[in-house]
Structure 1
Amino acid sequence: MLQEKTARMSIFRFAEAVDLEDTGIMRHAPLTPVQAEGVQALVDAGYGEGARSRVLVDLPGFSLVHVWFKAEFPLLLHSHDQDCLYYVIAGSLRLGRETLEAGDGFFIEADVPYTYTAGPEGVEVLEYRNANGFDFVNHARDAAFYQRAAQIAASQRQAWLDMPPPSAARK
């Protein structure tokens, strides 16, 4: 999906954004048997209904992704091989003991494992990278994590289907 650099200015529109999984920008590292079984349990429980990632910009040496995690979405502990700056545009998230809200952000260096949990209204973040591709390395290795996350996904699945993004409340 790498957009050609044709001018010194580029316009992008949210309506034209492409789903991250359809672009090849994010490469998934191989999973252990425990992870593969856990991820399948998440998929079966409706985990995919709780997240949406869309590539807004994919220019040479720069990418911008809009991510919407719905209420209480349990993000896997993971890392990427590229630095990333995250900016919360709506909703809230819990990162460790910190609660971040619209206007807040955080920076994660390459290869540093992290996770966060979307707040009760969900969260929308922008992910800025000085790269056109990055990996996703799953560090969630405990079967108990997958069981808890699958229970959350199953209990939230119907609500996630009908949930508006937190930015809709501002309109």
Structure 2
Amino acid sequence: MNTTAQRQDTPTTSGEGYQVFRTRNAPSLDETAHMELADVTPDLETGIGTALEAGFADGNVVKTLFSRPGFSLTYAWFKSGFPLPLHTHNVDCLYYVVAGSLQLGTDTLGPGDGFFVGAGKAYRYTPGPEGVEVLEFRSEEDFNINFLAKTVPAWEKISKVIADRRPAWANETPPSNALA
């Protein structure tokens, strides 16, 4: 067996207290099913469908780096101007900006900055001109996302931004090259 290939392509575990993970090989958040969509209505389903058709998936990459009961670490790369809808989660989340920048209210955050969002607190942020890569630390393995944009017109507005930004996203690379 080629141990170099194993170290590059699969998580390494030694006993209960040690595990190596690699961003480039991590499964998507969707693949792990650790995040559940909450309070789904027919209009929300329609709106999300419209956003997906406009290219929602082309504007972000979200991977589960590590998870176990009581803890999770997620990597997210949101491309420039990605319209992250106003939302909540049912667990606390601590964000750390790895590369790029984001606008959170009146604050611009860059590499080394971060923010905490308590469970149930509504928030959104906008990635800067080079996009943003963040690490998301949670004290739970499984959590939900509750989009507060519940109407079709709200999602049509989000979808328009996505459609307008999508051509630029095709050539963007992560600011840190973490996925290279």
**TM over 0.5: same fold?**
yes
Residue of structure 2 in register with 1:151 after alignment: 160
Give the SS at the match of 2:162. Answer: helix
- Aligned partner of 2:144 among 115, 131, 135: 135
* Secondary structure of the corresponding residue to residue 48 of structure 2: helix
Check conservation: 1:19, 1:54, Cα contact below 8 A: yes
Normalising by structure 2, we get a TM-score of: 0.86
Choose 1 or 2 for highest CA Rg: 2
Instruction: Indicate which of 54, 61, 66 corresponds to 1:52.
Output: 61
**Counterpart of 1:121?**
130
Q: Distance in 2 between matches of 1:76 and 1:11?
A: 32
TM-aligned CA distance change 1:76 to 1:10, over 3 Å = same
Query: Cα distance 1:5–1:49, how it changes in 2: closer, same or farther (>3 A)?
Result: same
Q: Which amino acid aligns with 2:144?
A: D
CA drift at 1:142: 4.5
Q: Is the 8 Å Cα contact of residues 100 and 130 (structure 2) preserved in structure 1?
A: yes
Q: Does 1:160 align with 2:169?
A: yes
Post-superposition offset of 1:4: 8.2
Number of matched pairs: 168
Moved more, 39-48 or 139-148: 139-148
Shift of 1:144: 4.0
Pick the aligned partner of 2:108 from 99, 102, 105. 99
Give the structure 2 partner of residue 71 of structure 1. 80
Percent identity reads: 42
CA contact (8 A) 1:5 1:59 kept: no
CA apart distance, 1:22: 0.6
Q: Which amino acid aligns with 1:102?
A: P
* 8 Å contact kept, 2:101–2:127: yes
| Unpaired segments ≥5 residues, structure 1 | none
| Counterpart amino acid of residue 11 in structure 1 | V
